[in-house]
């Protein structure tokens, strides 16, 4: 990209893709914005026209909105904590020279290839079902009373399912980081008298901080919009106990047929995501410099 | 105290035997250099002593104590790696302080030792920098600093200078030698560069394919090489070898003459080997002539910087009779 000619060429070649992507993004966004200022309810098709900020005040003043906001934060944080800590732990184990390492790694990675609704169904009916789930069987076997996961701990259940899905991703990234640590550095630390815990704390952790940052950033983006797992398992309930912002938009716009309010919720969700991204970048993004 | 003894040490990686059987005695305070061609097992031997590799059989004794199975931290040795192996996220100060911190030394004591090491190594003004912001020579010094603050029984260096440029290498060579004279601690230094070995060592171990070819002082190795391998490896430029009839005249399988042990003449001399100059390398102080000797092949000959031999000149070479090394069919010196 040194000369004016190559720069111009690059711009021209990129233009079609950029224009296409721009339209791809801008059309839905503009439509959402437009609907969010309209009276547009499928239940009441006669009521149309400009609504002003009514949709927004309706969404934000709704008590379930605050609960959904809190649920979103708990969901994101819970999954992040489980995947980062669990992922580090599994990565450390997988880094050990053991027999059958290759197969073990593939097995550990495999949950990532299961589609979210399928994963949720497996957990819902296979593991967490109150009557015939595997966990219930095990609890009965050791003489405990089985838990009705989705009724008693709806949000925790969703967190467990989502964490199970994202654990492989975190493990994979962290394992790669772990393996890029130079052998000589570990050996130097060993000779300097650092035991396993100190080596982990002073050498391995700082080395992995950048990978942890990447895991947090990427996962947060996806976790803010968790939907399928909730839809398949708890349906956001009981009440609003496991409804996050994304699912609230769905409940308002699709289940309650209020497109206007749903769109307003969507716009609010986009704004929240941007605020989170902003603070996240400030908090952990400095790890990515240089 | 820091005497190191290897007793019939053997090391194999799987089926590959890297070190067949080595027995060595290194005295307290000695500067010993392991030298040998690349891949001959120098690093492996050093790592065995450090405890970073397990021996396949044999024993390693430090100060007479069997440490064969002891983990690296318990052996009380410090190692300087070829890549320096500094901790990139720590400042120079924290890097040097790390082993002391691991030893749970009180903070004031650590600070004092780090300051002292930094002053000794000219690092005082870099203490708050990260390794990334240092030059190669400075990084090397930090690695050495990290080793000396621990006051180890012995230092192990694995080709510490091979990543530095030529001028810096000479400098650091002097600094390490000086450090040894100051500390009087046992040092084992691994290199493939025989000049480093000759200039730094009290005694040199010449390794070849995992075997000790000779263990002796630099001048011993130069004057009385035990075999053809050592004769060819020690000395720069390399010794010239002649086989066949000419060697048989000296009752040997092959004979060797160092480049510096020839008398040159432009006119035919009785008993001299006649050759033609292929390349003359003028260094100013010396001139190295690469001479095509009839029926022997290419010889390297050192002559004074004032000599004006050039490509195509005829030259008559007379080896100094007392400086002809004789070797038997097995390569052993006769
Ligand atoms: N971890 C290892 N596994 C298998 N072979 C090794 C290992 N480390 C070294 N070797 C082999 O041992 C031989 C000696 O290596 P090394 O001690 O590094 O040589 P040097 O330091 O003298 O260049 C080489 O042939 C190398 O391939
Ligand atoms: Mg080596």
Q: Please give the average per-residue pLDDT across A11-22, as a whole number.
A: 92
Question: Which of A184, A193, A206 lies nearest to residue B85, judging by beta carbons?
Answer: A184
The predicted pLDDT at position A238 comes to 86
Residue A3: predicted pLDDT: 83
pLDDT given at position A280: 82
Tokens standing for residue B283: 């260094």
The minimum-distance atom of ligand 1 relative to the CA of B42 is 22
Calculate mean pLDDT across residues A123-147. Answer: 84
B136 touches A: beta carbon within 8 Å: no
Q: In the numeric block, which tokens belong to residue A273?
A: 């995501």
pLDDT tens digits along B269-315: 888 889 999 999 998 889 999 999 988 889 999 998 887 888 888 99
Q: At what angle do helices A54-61 and A63-94 cross, to 10 degrees?
A: 60
CA separation for the pair B58, A121 (Å, rounded): 60
pLDDT of A290 higher than 70: no
- In this complex, which of A191, A193, A206 lies closest to B79 when CB atoms are compared? A191
Instruction: Summarize pLDDT for A223-259 with one digit per residue, the tens.
Output: 988 888 898 888 887 888 888 888 888 888 777 777 8
Task: Give tens-digit pLDDT for B212-238.
Answer: 999 999 999 999 999 999 999 998 899
Higher pLDDT, A58 or A78: A78
Average pLDDT over residues A156-181: 92
Determine the distance in angstroms separating the CA of A206 from the nearest CA of chain B, rounded to an integer.
7
Kindly state the helix (H) or strand (E) to which residue B215 belongs, with its residue range.
Answer: strand B211-216
| Signed CA dihedral, B292, B295, B300, B305: sign only | negative
CB contact under 8 A, A187 and B79: yes
A190–chain B Cβ distance below 8 A for any pair? yes
Q: How close is the Cα of B42 to the center of ligand 1, in Å?
A: 8
Does any ligand 1 atom lie closer than 6 A to the CB of residue B43? Answer: yes
How many H-runs (helices) and E-runs (strands) does chain A carry?
Answer: 14, 0
Q: Is B210 in the pocket of ligand 1 (CB under 6 A)?
A: no
Cross-chain Cβ contact B98/A194 below 8 Å = yes
What's the complex ipTM? 0.83
Q: Check CB contact under 8 Å for B85 and A190.
A: no
Residue minimizing CA distance to atom 9 of ligand 1: B44
Tell me the C-alpha to C-alpha distance, in Å, between residue A206 and each of A40, A186, A192, B91, B132: 53, 13, 17, 13, 15
Q: Residues A211-224: pLDDT tens digits?
A: 898 899 889 888 98
Residue A111: per-residue pLDDT: 87
Q: Which residue of A has its CA nearest to B98?
A: A192
Instruction: Give yes or no for residue A76 having a pLDDT over 60.
Output: yes
CA dist., res. B275 & res. B303, Å (int): 15
Q: Mean pLDDT over residues A96-123, rounded?
A: 85
Distance from CA of B74 to the nearest CA of A (A): 8
- Ligand 1 lined by B39 (C-beta under 6 Å): yes
- pLDDT above 80 for A43: no
Closest residue by Cα to atom 11, ligand 1, is B18
CA dist B292 to A12, A16, A28, A114, B3, Å? 64, 69, 83, 73, 48
> Which atom in ligand 1 lies closest to the alpha carbon of residue B37?
22
> Which chain A residues touch B163 with a CB distance below 8 Å?
none
pTM check: above 0.90: no
Q: What was the pLDDT predicted at B143?
A: 93
Q: Is B206 left (phi over 0), alpha (psi -120 to 50) or beta?
A: beta
Q: Which of A22-31, A37-46, A64-73, A140-149 has the lowest mean pLDDT?
A: A37-46
Give distance in angstroms: CA of A184 to centre of ligand 1.
15
Task: Yes or no: say if B269 and B230 are a contact pair by the CB < 8 Å rule.
Answer: no
B48 Cα to the center of ligand 1, angstroms: 12
Q: How far is A164 from chain B (nearest CA, A)?
A: 32
- Specify the pLDDT at position A79: 95
Report the nearest-CA residue for atom 17 of ligand 1.
Answer: B41
Report, as an integer, the average pLDDT of A201-217. Answer: 90
Name the residue with higher pLDDT: A141 or B202: B202
Please tell me the predicted confidence (pLDDT) of residue A289.
63
Residue of minimum CA distance from atom 23 in ligand 1: B39
Residue A190 distance to chain B (closest CA, Å)? 6
Is the Cβ of B171 closer than 8 Å to some Cβ of chain A? no
Burial of B152 (0-12, 13-18, 19+ CB in 10 A): buried
- Nearest-atom index, ligand 1, CA of B44: 17
What was the pLDDT predicted at A163?
A: 93
Angle of helix A154-179 relative to helix A101-109, nearest 10 degrees, comes to 140
Contact yes or no for B99 and A185 at CB 8 A: no
**For residue A1, what pLDDT is reported?**
55
- Touching check for A207 and chain B: CB below 8 Å? yes
Nearest C-alpha neighbor of B188 from the set B73, B21, B49, B64: B49
Mutate to test the pocket of ligand 1, among B16, B18, B156, B162 (most ligand atoms within 8 A of CB): B18
The rounded Å distance from CA B49 to ligand 1 centre is 15
- Is a pLDDT exceeding 70 seen at residue A94? yes
Residues listed for chain B: 334
What superfamily does domain A65-242 belong to in CATH?
MetI-like (1.10.3720.10)
At A47-72, the pLDDT tens digits run 777 777 777 888 788 888 888 889 99
Q: Which of B83, B89, B103 lies closest to A193 in CB terms?
A: B103
Chain mean pLDDT for chain B: 91
Q: Which residues of B touch A190 (CB under 8 A)?
A: 52, 71-73
Query: B43 with B212: CB under 8 angstroms?
Result: no
CA B230 / ligand 1 centre spacing (Å) = 21
What per-residue confidence (pLDDT) applies to A210? 87
Distance CA A145, CA A134 (A): 13
């Amino acid at each position: 990209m040194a000369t004016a000619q190559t720069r111009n060429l690059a711009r021209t070649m990129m233009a079609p893709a950029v224009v296409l992507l721009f339209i791809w993004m801008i059309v839905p966004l503009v439509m959402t914005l437009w609907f969010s200022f309209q009276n547009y309810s499928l239940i009441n098709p006669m009521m149309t026209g400009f609504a002003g900020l009514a949709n927004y005040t309706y969404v934000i003043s709704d008590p379930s909105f605050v609960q959904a906001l809190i649920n979103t934060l708990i969901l994101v944080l819970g999954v992040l904590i489980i995947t980062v800590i669990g992922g580090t732990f599994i990565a450390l184990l997988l880094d050990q020279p053991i027999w059958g390492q290759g197969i073990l790694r593939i097995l550990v990675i495999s949950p990532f290839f299961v589609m979210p609704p399928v994963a949720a169904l497996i957990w819902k009916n296979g593991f967490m079902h109150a009557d015939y789930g595997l966990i219930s069987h095990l609890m009965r076997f050791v003489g405990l009373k089985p838990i009705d996961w989705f009724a008693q701990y709806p949000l925790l259940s969703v967190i467990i399912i989502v964490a199970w899905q994202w654990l492989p991703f975190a493990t994979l990234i962290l394992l790669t980081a772990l393996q890029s640590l130079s052998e000589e550095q570990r050996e130097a630390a060993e000779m300097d008298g650092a035991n396993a815990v100190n080596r982990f704390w002073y050498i391995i952790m700082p080395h992995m901080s950048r990978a942890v940052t990447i895991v947090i950033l990427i996962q947060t983006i996806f976790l803010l919009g968790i939907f399928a797992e909730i839809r398949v398992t708890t349906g956001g309930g009981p009440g609003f106990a496991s409804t996050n912002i994304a699912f609230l938009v769905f409940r308002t716009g699709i289940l309650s047929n209020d497109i206007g309010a749903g769109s307003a919720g969507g716009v609010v969700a986009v704004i929240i995501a941007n605020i989170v991204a902003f603070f996240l970048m400030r908090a952990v993004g400095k790890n990515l410099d240089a | 105290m820091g005497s190191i003894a290897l007793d019939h040490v053997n090391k194999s990686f799987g089926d590959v035997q890297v070190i067949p059987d080595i027995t060595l005695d290194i005295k307290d305070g000695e500067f010993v250099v392991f030298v040998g061609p690349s891949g001959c097992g120098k690093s492996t031997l050093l790592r065995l002593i450090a405890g970073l590799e397990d021996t396949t059989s044999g024993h390693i004794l430090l100060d007479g104590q069997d440490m064969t199975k002891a983990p690296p931290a318990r052996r009380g040795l410090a190692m300087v790696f070829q890549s320096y192996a500094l901790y990139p996220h720590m400042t120079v100060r924290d890097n040097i302080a790390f082993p002391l911190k691991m030893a749970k030394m009180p903070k004031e004591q650590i600070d004092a030792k780090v300051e002292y090491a930094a002053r000794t190594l000219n690092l005082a003004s870099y203490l708050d920098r990260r390794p990334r912001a240092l030059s190669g020579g400075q990084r090397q010094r930090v690695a050495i600093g990290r080793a000396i603050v621990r006051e180890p029984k012995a230092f192990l260096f694995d080709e510490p200078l091979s990543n530095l440029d030529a001028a810096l290498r000479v400098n650091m060579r002097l600094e390490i030698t000086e450090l040894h004279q100051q500390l009087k601690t046992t040092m084992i230094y691994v290199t493939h560069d025989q000049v480093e070995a000759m200039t730094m060592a009290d005694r040199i171990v010449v390794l070849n394919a995992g075997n000790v070819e000779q263990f002796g002082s630099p001048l011993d190795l130069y004057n009385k090489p035990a075999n053809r391998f050592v004769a060819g490896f020690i000395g720069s430029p390399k010794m010239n070898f002649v086989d066949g009839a000419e060697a048989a005249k000296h009752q040997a399988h092959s004979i060797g003459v160092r480049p510096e042990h020839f008398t040159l003449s432009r006119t035919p001399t009785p008993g001299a080997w006649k050759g033609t100059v292929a390349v003359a390398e003028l260094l100013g102080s010396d001139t190295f002539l690469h001479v095509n000797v009839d029926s022997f092949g290419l010889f390297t000959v050192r002559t004074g910087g004032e000599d004006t031999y050039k490509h195509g000149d005829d030259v008559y070479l007379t080896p100094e009779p007392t400086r002809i090394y004789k070797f038997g069919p097995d390569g052993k010196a006769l």
